[in-house]
Amino acid sequence: MFVPKAQNPALAAGFIVAATAFIAATTLLAKALGTDTLGPPLHPLQISQGRFLFAFLAISTAVVILRPRLQRPHWRLHIGRTSFGWAGVTLMFASVAYIPLADATAISFLNPVFAMMLAIPLLQERVGRVRWSAAAIALAGALILLRPTPDSFQPAALLALGAALVMGMELIFIKKLSGRETPIQILFVNNAIGLGIATAAMLPVWIPPTPEQWAGLAALGVMMACAQTCFVNGMARADASFVAPFSYATLVFAALYDFAGFGVVPDLISVLGACVILAGAFLLAFREARIRP
């Protein structure tokens, strides 16, 4: 019988922040694969399929080595989670090929706000003034990094906004599953279903990837598997409304990767936005530490 993880907000926050480091890296890879950086641009559906393929191979290897005890999956929750996850990832990969990476990342990572709002009616979670305030502060930081301009409202930006909405719904399904099944089973079933959905959707647009693109797809899938592992473990140890705002750290990691990989030095606005986002997360962590023994 599955025993839910003990609630540990500090550890949950650590898992989520680690997940964001991997997620930011996958977004940068998707940008490279969706443009002509590594060869002829790949369709977002093909990039999404590669992500599920190599993530499934990585998680299947872990299952074979660790031999975890599996139980009967809750298929309805798994199908719901995977469908929203596949749609969100595909929309995100599509958006980064047409609009600046910082804009797409900032828009799509409004999903914690959607998740916190959805957690109220769907998970019966209580969201007090401090959590609302922390989420609002993090959202303000995301808007600072977005630098609203006419380009931010081009049609492609709606792809990132759609990704935020459906990934917010995915967070709800992850939270429901995290209290019922082990993280490794959730990841294994999710990626198996996702691979089937992504492969069927990708077939009409498939083109042979270059060797560099195969390597990029493999790295993307493995890093996404690591991100999922951290994320599911984080969701299992705290309320969804608590851990969700920590996802904004992805924006910070994206800026750091830009600097390390391309020598892009963050300007004052980028630093300000990152600091505001972290302020929201720290406010949330401080509040949890004060109310828990």
CA-closest candidate to residue 50, choices 203, 187, 207, 214:
214
Please check whether residue 147 lies inside any domain of the structure.
Answer: yes
Computed over every residue of the chain, the mean pLDDT equals: 82
Predicted TM-score of the model (pTM): 0.76
Per-residue pLDDT at 16 exceeds 80: yes
| 2 backbone φψ class: left, alpha, beta (φ>0; ψ -120 to 50) | beta
Burial-class residue 161 by CB neighbours within 10 Å (0-12, 13-18, 19+).
Answer: middle
Please check whether residue 280 lies inside any domain of the structure.
Answer: yes
* DSSP letter for each residue of 32-80: HHHTTSSSSPPPHHHHHHHHHHHHHHHHHHHHHHH--------HHHHHH
Domain extent at residue 278? 10-291
Please check whether residue 3 lies inside any domain of the structure.
Answer: no
Per-residue pLDDT at 254 exceeds 90: no
pLDDT for 206-249, tens place per residue? 999 999 999 999 999 999 889 888 887 887 788 766 776 787 78
Angle, CA 149 vertex, CA 148 and CA 150 arms, to 5° = 135
Please check whether residue 4 lies inside any domain of the structure.
Answer: no
Contact 176, 123 (CB under 8 A): yes
- The count of other CB atoms within 10 Å of the CB of residue 10 is 12
Please check whether residue 213 lies inside any domain of the structure.
Answer: yes
pLDDT for 118-170, tens place per residue? 777 777 777 778 878 877 887 787 777 666 666 555 677 788 888 888 988 88
Please check whether residue 111 lies inside any domain of the structure.
Answer: yes
Query: How many structural domains are present in the chain?
Result: 1
Please check whether residue 71 lies inside any domain of the structure.
Answer: yes
pLDDT for 119-130, tens place per residue? 777 777 777 788
